[in-house]
Amino acid sequence: MKELLLESKGIRTDQYFIPPFELREGELVVINLHGGPHYYEFKRILIDILIGKTKTENVKIKRPLLYDNYYKESKFRRIFFPTTVEAYLEKNANLESEFIQKIYSFPWVNKKTKFKEFYWGYQKVVFLCSTLSKTKDIVFDLAGQHPESAKISYEIVKDMVRNGGSAILIDSESEFKEECDEFITLEWLVPYEEVYKKLKFEYL
C-alpha cells in the first residue's frame, strides 16, 4: 500500500462538515467547498489545517504538505521596481528543478516578464511551478483563474502526481470530480443564511 501522507477523520464545525478522507502518495484529492461568499474564508481555514498551521486531533499529517501560495507585490514596488519572473524565482524556487523550465516553455512568459504585465491566472501557474520545484506534496487552488490557466495548472499537478507526488485541490466546483482519486464535498449543517451572517470577509 502506498505511503499515507494525511488522514482526516472528518472536520466538523457548528456550520459544516467535511467528510473523512485520506491522502496517499501518488493521489490527488479534491475538496469541494462550493462556490459563494464563504469560499475564500473557508479555504484559508482549511489550508491552515491541511498544512499543519492549525492543529486539530481529527487530522493527522504524516508528511508535510506545502500550500501553493501567491506573491503579492506592494503598490510602490509594482510602480517603481516591478518584480520580474526571474527575480521572483531566484528567491522562491529551486532553480535546478524541471518545473522552472516548464514555466519558460509557455509563450506568455520569459525571464524578464514583469508580474504586472500578465494575467493573474498565468501568474498562478508560475506560483504553482515555483512551489512544485521545492516539494512534490502540495495543497493548491484554482481561484481566480480562467478555464485555460486552470486547466494548465490542473494538468501540471496531475503529471506530478503520476510521478509519485500527492496533492489536495481546494475547489468550489465539481468540474474535476471524475479526474481525481477521491472527491470530497462539504456538507452544510445549517441554512446558508446563517453561514453568511458570520462571514468576516477577511480573505478576499
Backbone angles phi, psi at 178, to 5 degrees: -95, 5
Residue 204: the pLDDT is 47
Residue 70: the pLDDT is 76
Q: Counting Cβ atoms within 10 Å, is residue 24 exposed (0-12), middle (13-18) or buried (19+)?
A: middle
Query: For the domain 4-72+79-195, what is the CATH superfamily, name and number?
Result: P-loop containing nucleotide triphosphate hydrolases (3.40.50.300)
Residue 203: the pLDDT is 56
| CA–CA gap between residue 137 and residue 72 (Å, rounded) | 23
pLDDT in tens, 182-194: 999 999 999 999 9
pLDDT(65) > 80: yes
Q: Percent of the chain, pLDDT > 70?
A: 99
pLDDT in tens, 79-131: 889 999 999 999 999 999 999 999 999 999 999 999 999 899 999 999 999 99
| Cβ–Cβ under 8 Å, residues 128 and 93 | no
30 versus 201: the higher-pLDDT residue is 30
Average pLDDT, the chain: 94
- What residues have CB less than 8 Å from 88, skipping those under 6 apart? 71, 115, 126, 130
pLDDT category of residue 202 using cuts at 50, 70 and 90: low
Q: What is the pTM of this model?
A: 0.94
pLDDT in tens, 144-183: 899 999 999 999 999 999 999 999 999 999 999 999 999 9
